[in-house]
Amino acid sequence: MPDLTVAIDVSPLAQTRAGTARHIESLTAALEEEGGVTLRRYGFGGPGRATAAVRDVVWYLAALPERARRDGADVLHCPTFRAPVRSRVPLVVTVHDLAVLRHPLTFNRWTQTYSALALPRVVRTAAAIVAVSEFTKRELVELLGVPEEKVTVIPNGVGRQFRPEGAATRGDFVLAVSTLEPRKNLTRLVEGFGRAHLDGCELLVVGARGWGGVKVGGARVRWLGEVGDQELARLYRGARCVAYPSLYEGFGLPVLEAMACGTSVVTSQAPALREVGGDAVIAVDALDPGAIAAGLEEAVARREELGRAGVERARAYTWKAAASATLEVYRSVDR
């Protein structure tokens, strides 16, 4: 069987280094290792709101689908829901979550307006949709009326650098890995951390500055900004536990990465986080700082037990499996 030529949009790499970027980089690398596909990466612009608006209107609505057609691609894959509303090349779209529809006020006005107008048309245009969790699939069906048979669930994998073996950051700390944005619930996390009896350890927050005016700070709280993957893995391994009490997620990659590193995890009761973490995490009422505090204390006390359970559960999530399943989706839409 000849290789498929797949045009894949990598424009989000210019906008973020968070979970979406990790997904794109990891999936493309795994697809090339898998074989059977020739990837052509297409991208537009850099960071900034003005550039993003041009990208949304000019790139996705006109330039990207035309370039894919002109270059003879068999499939066009947009690994976020920013995608063409018309495409002569069969279109595959990956949807990570529908937070912009569930919680629109946590996004800027342009993203709210663009998403409300474009998303329904994008999912109609797509020949196939990939959802990163069963929860996101249910959201697509419920909020946008997408037929279930159009959606394939392909979970994220975990990178090879995230494993129990290896160097660990020294110190006495709880780790949170989140972009600074409202739905990550960092304000309640900081309050819950302050209430927890953890013998004076610090709360370290890793992640990019986001939007919504979210800042973290206070007694024994430090924001580290963005760090590289190797440093992140060391932080996961060294933490007394990892806290991820997000109010809404389509997957929750830091939960998987922390489990793979053998660290206990506290999450919210958001369905996607329960789907990923199962019984290997402590799930709490994330609207209650007291419940967050109790969860942190339990996760620290049960670190070894939960760490072993997390490592075992994380083994089921590989980028190789994600690439193999994605290749099958490409083949299903190739005309």
Which range of 9-13, 18-22, 52-56, 90-94 scores highest in mean pLDDT? It is 90-94
Q: Is residue 335 packed enough to be buried (19+ CB in 10 Å), middle (13-18) or exposed (0-12)?
A: exposed
Instruction: For residue 45, name the pLDDT band (cuts at 50, 70, 90).
Output: confident
Rounded mean pLDDT of the chain?
Answer: 93
Per-residue pLDDT tens over the stretch 188-217: 999 999 999 998 899 999 998 877 778 888
44-48, 134-138, 228-232, 283-287, range with the lowest pLDDT = 44-48
Per-residue pLDDT tens over the stretch 61-100: 999 999 999 999 999 999 999 999 999 999 999 999 999 9
Domains identified in the chain and CATH numbers:
4-157+318-333 (3.40.50.2000), 173-314 (3.40.50.2000)
Q: What gap in Å lies between CA 143 and CA 146, rounded to an integer?
A: 8
Q: What is the pTM of this model?
A: 0.92
* Chain CA centroid to CA 138, Å: 17
Beta-carbon contacts of 305 under 8 Å, excluding residues fewer than 6 positions away, are: 264
Q: Give the pLDDT confidence score for residue 166 in this predicted structure.
A: 95
**Which is nearest to 114 in space by CA: 37, 60, 169?**
60
Per-residue pLDDT tens over the stretch 98-147: 999 998 887 878 888 889 999 999 999 999 999 999 999 999 999 999 99
Q: What are phi and psi of 301, to 5 degrees?
A: -65, -30
CB-based contact 98:135 (threshold 8 Å): no
Q: CA-CA-CA-CA torsion for 256, 187, 137, 115, nearest 10 degrees? A: -130
Residue 299: CB atoms within 10 Å: 26
